[in-house]
Amino acid sequence: MAQINFGGVLENVVTREEFTLDKSREVLKSETVAVIGYGVQGPGQSLNLKDNGINVIVGQRKGGKSWDKAVADGWVEGVNLFEIEEACRRATIIQYLLSDAGQIASWPVIKPYLTTGKALYFSHGFGITFHEKTGIVPPTDVDVILVAPKGSGTSLRRLFVEGKGLNSSYAIYQDATGKAKDRALALGIGVGSGYLFETDFKKEVYSDLTGERGILMGALAGLFEAQYYVLREKGHSPSEAFNETVEELTQSLMPLVAENGMDWMFANTSVTAQRGALDWKGKFRDAAAPVFKELYESVASGKEAERVIAEGSKSDYRAKLELELKEIRESELWQAGAAVRKLRP
């Protein structure tokens, strides 16, 4: 492991130079990896593993959209694409990449195939951490591991094709065989991780649920709405309000922050922008911190998990979700966004 200084805190990380792709192939040479689920993470992880020379198959219900997508991506029925039960039977490592609700529903199907010495792999700590609510309790004689790419499966695949990587966390929940860590790291490199940092299942799900409800999606969407509609109320056009709120951030500033850091961003703007941003940064931090603390406590208490399970299990959830998404999609803010995107060169 390499010891890296993260803001004054030393952390151990695993890089591709230390745990090479050749080593990953060696660790996994006798394994059959079954990717169960072909939704958010399944396509990117399975295709990257296949392109990296790992023996991987896909398990999916035949006849659905995800099965058809797998076929379109080059998976062949009876060769490396199977019904879920058959894929699990053939596998020595089961990558359980269904949605959280899907994992709960399919657990009675998966569990019988977790025979001695196999490994159960997650990319999210939800099912294990909240096992009292999900019912997901693996047998004691299998490895239980996690590799969680810090981004969508689409980004994981895109960066892989570009020769880059998406950073991932990894965790060992249960080491029944003595090789759980090697299996996790080999799969982490195999799916295209830039580097891997250690966590545990609970920390992964707490940070993940906080992040997606917070800065990654919930807070970001809320801030977009707040600024956009203030500008509109003050007489600015939809085009001007959208460009100043969303377009400049996503198309110009965030790529630069990703490349160089926030200090560089501050140093490379006008004095007017620089001074104002520095003066107002603390106000936004102090206003948002109590909300983030409330959010984290809601995650840690299990309230967020309870809501996800309760809502996700309702038969009309998808229909209600579409209504919520339609409201966002048809709002002036995102209708303006659609128009702006069409005008990009």
- In the chain the first and final C-alpha atoms are separated, in Å, by 44
Residues 6+ apart with CB under 8 A from 79: none
> Of 186, 169, 193, whose CA–CA distance to 22 is shortest?
186
Assign residue 33 a region: left if phi > 0, alpha if psi is -120 to 50, beta otherwise? beta
Distance CA 128, CA 203 (A): 12
Question: Does the annotation mark 236 as catalytic?
Answer: no
Distance CA 340, CA 335 (A): 9
Alpha-carbon gap, residue 293 to 282, rounded angstroms: 16
8 Å CB contact between 197 and 13: yes
Name the residue among 295, 305, 297, 298 with its Cα closest to residue 100. 305
Kindly name the residue from 50, 118, 124, 183 that is annotated as catalytic: 124
Catalytically active residues are: 124
